[in-house]
Structure 1
Amino acid sequence: MSVTGKSKALTVPDIAARKSGIPLTCLTAYTTPVAKLVDPHCDIVLVGDSVGMVLHGLPSTLTVTLEMMILHGKAVRRGLQRALMVVDMPFGSYEESPEQAFRNAACLMAETGCAAVKLEGGENMASTIRFLTARGIPVMAHLGLTPQAINVFGGYRVQGRSEGAARVRNDALMVADAGAFAIVLEKIPEALARQITEDVAIPTIGIGASAACDGQILVVDDMLGLFGDFRPKFVKRYAELGQTAEAAVKVYAQEVRERRFPGSDHVFNDTPALSKE
C-alpha cells in the first residue's frame, strides 16, 4: 500500500498490531537516498547485514562489523520519516551472552536511532530475546535460513523440510513467547510458513516463505535488478536498473571518447579573461 503525504512515524506497537491485517511492506536500505526512496511506501526498513555482500563485496555476512552497521544505520536514519527502522545485529555481537547482546544492541540503538534490532536464532536465542525486551530493546527474530549460520547449514539451503519443520515451528513459538514483536521467516516451505503464521500471535514477515505471512521483505537491490547475475527463486524483479545503468555508462564513455560530452549546455561560458598582471 503506497502512502502519500506526511504520516506519523510507525512504532513497534503499530507493527505488532498489524497481525492478520493489511500485509506489512518491508525492504532493506543502506544509504540515505534509498531510505528516502522507500520510506513513503514501506512499513519497515531494515538495515540488513546483507550490506556486507550488497555494498562491500563480501562473500557472506559473517565479516560484517558493528561499526559497519552503525555507519549505514546512521545514513538510513537520516532518510526516514515514516517507516520503522530495524538494524541487524552482526555475527558475533550477541551470541556469547544476553549481557553482550544488550551492550551491543544498546549501542546500535543509541548510535543510529533505530527503533528495534534483529537477531538470528530460535530456541537458543529465546533467553537473549527475553533479556533484551525486558530492558527496553524491541527485538525482531529471524528463523529458517539464517545467513549467519550458513557454515552449519552447508550453504543457502531451504530449511524446515521433513523433520526440520518441527524445529522451525518450535523456534517460532519460543521467540514469540520470549517477547519478539515480529519474526522474519526466510527460505522455508510455503505450508510451514503458513502454519507458523497461524500459530504465533506476532506478525511473520516472509522472504522465500508464503504469501500467507503477515508481511514480506526483499533486499532492495535484488528487487530493483541491480545485480544481473543474482536471481534467487524467491526474488521478483520489479525493475532491471542494472541493465539501464550499464547502458547509460556505455553511452557516457562513448561520448567522452568522441568529445561529445561535455557539450555547450554543460560548460560555463562568458568567463572574463584572466588578468595577466
Structure 2
Amino acid sequence: MIPALFRVDRRIDEFAGTFTLYLSSEQSREPPLFRPGQFNMLYAFGAGEVPISMSGSPAEHNGYVHTIRAHGLVTQALARLRDGDTIGVRGPFGHGWPLEKAEGKNLLIIAGGLGLAPLRPVLCSLLQGQPAVKQATLFYGARRPQEVLFRDSMRDWRERIALVLSVDDADTQWDGRVGVITEPLRSAEIDGENSIVFLCGPEVMMRFCVRLLLDKGVPESSIYLSMERNMKCATGHCGHCQWGPSFICKDGPVFNYGSVSRWMNIRAL
C-alpha cells in the first residue's frame, strides 16, 4: 500500500491533453513484472493517486510506461511532470489479457480512443512472437486524425499485424477511413469459432462491438474487455469499483464477456 518512488525518464506529448510517461525505479532492484492489461496506481504528490494502465512492453524490465489523459485533479498534476521529476507508484494490480488463450487463433484487437493504451502491451508481445497467433488484426478508432495514438509504433505494427484505422471526423488532408470503428468491423469476415477478441474503449463503443461480434458468431467466452472505472484503492477494500458481484480493480480490469454479460445489457442498444 506504500508507493515506491519512480523517476520520469522521458515524457512524450501524444496530442493536446494526452501524454506518455516513461518511468524508472529509484530503487536498486528492478520493479515487479507486469502482464499486459494490468495497471498501476500513480501518486502525484500533493494531489492524490489514480489508476493508469500499462502501455509499454512487458519485456522491458527496468520501468513502466503509462499513457494518460489529463481530465481531473490528479491527472492534471501528472501532466505537469517533466523529465527527472519523481512520482509514487503502487502495483502492478489486477488481471490482464489472457494471451495464452490466443495461441493458434485469430486475434482481434479492437480499441477506441485511449483504449489503445491498455492494448499496446499486447501488440508489443505479438511483435516478439508471443503468443503465436494464426492472424492478428487491430481495429482502432480515434476521434480525429491528430488524436491517433502511437503513430511511430504503428509503422512497426503494420509489418506483422493487419491494421484497420478509422477516425470519426477528419479534414481534407486525411486520406484514410472516416467513420466509427464499428463500420469496418461490421463488414469484416470473422471466423467466430476460431477467433478471440480483446476489446477496450468507451463503454458505449464496447457494447456495440460486442453485439456485432456475437452476431458474427463469436462466442461470449471468446470476448475479453477491459473495464476501467471508479477504481480507488486497487485492492478491493474500498468498494468504489464494485460491478455486480465483482470488484474491477481486483477481479478485473480485464473480464471475460460471458461472466459479465448481464451487467452490460447490450440488448438495450
Answer yes or no: same fold by TM over 0.5. Answer: no
Where relative contact order (Cα < 8 A, 6+ residues apart) is larger, the structure is 2
Rg larger in 1 or in 2?
A: 1
Higher strand share: 2
Higher helix share: 1
